[in-house]
């Protein structure tokens, strides 16, 4: 593989994507993170550079994959040197951020003579490591075609959605519905526990009826066992529900379930539970737990 890959943002997702591409024969040339210790450790593991300046990541790479936390982080990296001397480079942006951010990044990249593509992820850490992500992409078709060989090594399913911002819109809806389902499941199991029902039995019944969902498979047992090891944090759930609600406001829509769900995740953050997995929302509903002691 002749193209050199740089990473900006090597937390739980970015680091495992970098490991995956290294194993697939790509040259991972540079990794950068605001957590410099994490970047340096990963660089040592992968045998690459860990620059302290964003422009160095771009200089050392042909393709730069960004996996940052939010709108502010995206604005900071693309206004902080990442586009310096970037002519001919390709930026693949995987963070869940507001659609308008992806549109602006594409515009800035084109002005700099480079290309940008959003590749929104609907998967978690295990899939990042295994190369089985579900990726939704937005941008110009020719840019998607250029990025496709790399993205195919990271994904089990790769979908081109449309122009810049459109994949981010779809991702916002995916996470909005996932968050609503998670909150609903926590309430169902919490009420079942309060009624003295066997929760293993209840989860089995849910799985065979209209109460079934992907969240039941991934989070149901964890809610029961209070195992909230973080794959997708409550803080990120709150942030992503907020993106969807902002889109709804722009269309004049009232979304009461999404609003109530965001309030629950905001409460987790304010109660110091924001770094728990999203399944930790059960701590707000089960008797005898965080808010019911």
Question: Annotated catalytic sites, by residue?
Answer: 171
Give 97's contacts (C-beta < 8 A, 6+ positions apart).
68, 70, 71, 74, 168, 243
Cβ atoms of 56 and 5 closer than 8 Å: no
> Cα dist. 93→90, 126, 152, 212, 257 in Å?
10, 19, 15, 32, 29
Q: How far apart are the first and last CA of the chain?
A: 56
- Compute the CA torsion angle 149, 155, 161, 164 (nearest 10 deg): -70
């Amino acid at each position: 593989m002749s193209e050199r890959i740089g990473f900006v943002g090597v937390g739980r997702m970015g680091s495992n994507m970098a490991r995956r591409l290294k194993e697939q024969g790509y040259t991972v040339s540079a990794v950068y993170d605001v957590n410099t210790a994490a970047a340096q450790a990963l660089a040592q593991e992968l045998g690459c550079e860990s620059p302290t300046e964003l422009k160095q990541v771009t200089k050392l790479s042909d393709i730069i994959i960004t996996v940052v936390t939010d709108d502010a982080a995206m604005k900071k990296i693309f206004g902080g040197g990442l586009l310096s001397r970037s002519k001919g480079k390709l930026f693949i942006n995987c963070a869940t951020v507001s659609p308008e951010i992806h549109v602006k990044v594409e515009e800035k990249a084109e002005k700099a003579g480079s290309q940008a593509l959003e590749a929104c992820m609907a998967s978690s850490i295990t899939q990042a490591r295994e190369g089985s992500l579900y990726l939704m992409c937005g941008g110009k078709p020719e840019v998607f075609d250029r990025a496709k060989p790399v993205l195919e090594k990271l994904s089990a399913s790769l979908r081109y959605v449309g122009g810049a911002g459109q994949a981010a819109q779809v991702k916002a809806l995916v996470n909005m519905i996932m968050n609503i389902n998670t909150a609903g499941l926590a309430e169902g199991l919490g009420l079942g526990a309060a009624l003295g029902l066997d929760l293993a039995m209840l989860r089995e019944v849910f799985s065979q009826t209209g109460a079934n969902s992907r969240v039941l498979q991934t989070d149901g047992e964890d809610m029961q066992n209070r195992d909230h090891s973080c794959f997708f944090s409550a803080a990120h759930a709150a942030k992503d529900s907020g993106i969807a609600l902002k889109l709804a406001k722009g269309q004049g829509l009232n979304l009461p379930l999404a609003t109530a769900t965001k309030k629950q995740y905001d409460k987790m953050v304010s109660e110091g539970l924001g770094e728990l997995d999203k399944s930790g929302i059960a701590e707000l509903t089960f008797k005898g737990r965080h808010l019911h002691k």
